[in-house]
Chains A and B, each alone.
Chain A
């Protein structure tokens, strides 16, 4: 059905990334060699346990977490980690603290959980972004009430790349305005930023943080929730008491080691490289007729959301795919159900803008040549489709 004469240009890294050779190698080693159950008393078990501990240390250091007061809870991925964070906290909140603050542009694995707790009687404040898609710390501070028990915000938005300013140390500022010890728990969904933007949970006042392996060239089916040990979580599943009983089940050793290897393989200058590519893509896109950018200029270095007014994103997507360029319409996890993106809707964009929006997302393996080639193909596709679709 496709004539992919061109070389493949994958620009959908916010959906998922190809697994890097380092991760594959680490996983092979784990599958063939470190097959022991970390809970087993014998040497094979101990070997596996040691390797998990080493990986946890890598991740704690990556987010500048205190290695004694913080811990890594491995999960099946970002969705589970977000669920565990929100439901784990909410289930233990006192009657007087049942107010949750989050935003209208969160990933559905946050939004849907919060709305579920709303149905169970919690109060929920959904912060609305500005037209750039950005939520400001000031907005959050304004929304905080004495009853607020949990704040959950994403670091980088998966559809627009808008960044929440964690550097503003929300929790620190909350401490100065609010004279009490039991501050709300602060959860950050960092699925899109982990490995790309600097994270410092101590300086940023983060209690819980979600990360996922398959967005950083690691395998699917593994992620983690960082927990400040002072925060109590009610488990979602029950079992053999692994990971302190908060997330029981035999640990996914190959997944964990694959994630660690993928993280270690990320280049140090990743953000700079991505930023250069993004600028190049941005320039190219705005030079195409009928294109409007939906991402903030100061957004994350790997995501651009753009509308091709007059076209339908899905048609453009398939046309690009035919030429070997892979992008996303809406957010890939749920673009099957064809509802308009809740994120772009929250930005207050017109239907024409939303219906024609595509997301381009880059990785450290994307080259400048890829970008130039992609721009050429996108320009051609937009023009030729425009001849049919912009007629009426």
Chain B
């Protein structure tokens, strides 16, 4: 059997939970197992109130990379497991610390030992002292610093001994699927995937809806949205995308309503349709990538008018973000490159030359009343197409 690697999984915020802590932990375990599924001989386990992964050492980088994307993890601490024997522990620790020092240049350390198995002949302070001495003599240039160490060498002794000194930061948040479900209005832009990702990180399960005006927009624009959904699925495991054609609605608005109200009216239809999707899929809220002041329609007045169209709460996690901050998140989560591809999902034909920046609800409702709102919404909704994307997989059309 090949050498086994081990990683301690730090779960942060969940530990603050009271009676329902088990619920969060179990969900996190499931999500973590899902993320590393397909790698042979990986074990995700919970023992003595801590979470661990065991795997063949040659798979370590793949395991860590995939696990890092699981929401609810604060950090991953990869290390080694050896027989509970001080000689072996010392030898393994020396190898590990030497590598860490070469990689990061860190020198000031402290040993922390935890002896759960009291059959082990040394006490925790004795282990710390002895191991510190071994490391100082075997790795050149090290320094013990118990007050402000640059790194900790952790030793845990149970039926086996575990040694780790690296800590890889993860995204934190709450386990995906522990905070209800919401419908994300996903466009091909930079903002909405980031908004969805941020809500997903808080444990909210996503169901995406995407609007297009085919044939006034291209199928490639839709493919781009699907690519963004695929990237979100890398974090969430899977995601469903409902595509809805707005063409008939946009045409009706263009023919019957003032030009400058085109954007705000379309937006209200999108909200209404997203709410329909929410009702159908059992989601309890909507999520948009809206951001105050970014475009003419994203004013307080504009948001008030679009908000008034729906009863469900609308979450706008980016509302006070600067564009640069959004771009930074988009780059970190891997959606930026796709978002800036040049396929528009909103047809320029319907872009008005001017836009109302301070719409009044009664005016907008008056314009809307000229349209067969219910009929338009019903037809658009009935023409919807649903696709489900799985992590690391090609999409397959969903069967009803």
Contacts and interface: CB of A to CB of B under 8 A. Distances in A.
Contacts of A312: 348-349
Nearest to A320: B215
A336 interface: yes
Nearest to A338: B342
A278 B82 CA distance: 79
Interface of A: 1, 312, 314-315, 317-319, 321-322, 336-338, 388-389, 391
Contact of A315 (B219, B342, B347): B347
A389 B349 contact: yes
Given A318-B219, A321-B215, A322-B214, 17 more contacts: A1-B219, A1-B222, A1-B243, A1-B385, A312-B348, A312-B349, A315-B215, A317-B215, A318-B216, A318-B217, A322-B215, A336-B220, A336-B342, A337-B342, A338-B342, A388-B254, A389-B349
Contacts of B220: 336
Contacts of A321: 215
Nearest to B344: A338
A1 B342 contact: no
Given A1-B385, A336-B342, A337-B342, A388 B349 contact: yes
3 tightest A-B CB contacts, nearest first: A318-B215, A319-B215, A315-B216
B218 interface: yes
B251 interface: yes
24 contacts: A1-B214, A1-B219, A1-B385, A312-B348, A314-B218, A315-B215, A315-B216, A315-B347, A318-B214, A318-B215, A318-B216, A318-B219, A319-B215, A321-B215, A322-B214, A322-B215, A336-B220, A337-B342, A338-B342, A388-B251, A388-B254, A388-B349, A389-B349, A391-B254
A318 to B, nearest CB: 3
Contacts of B222: 1
Interface of B: 214-220, 222, 243, 251, 254, 342, 347-349, 385
B385 A315 contact: no
A1 B347 CA distance: 16
A385 to B, nearest CB: 9
Nearest to B216: A315
Contacts of B216: 315, 318
Contacts of A315: 215-216, 347, 349
Contacts of B349: 312, 315, 388-389
Nearest to B341: A336
A388 B252 CA distance: 10
Nearest to B347: A315
B257 to A, nearest CB: 14
A389 B247 CA distance: 13
Contacts of B243: 1
A49 to B, nearest CB: 40
Contacts of A319: 215
Contacts of B385: 1
B393 to A, nearest CB: 21
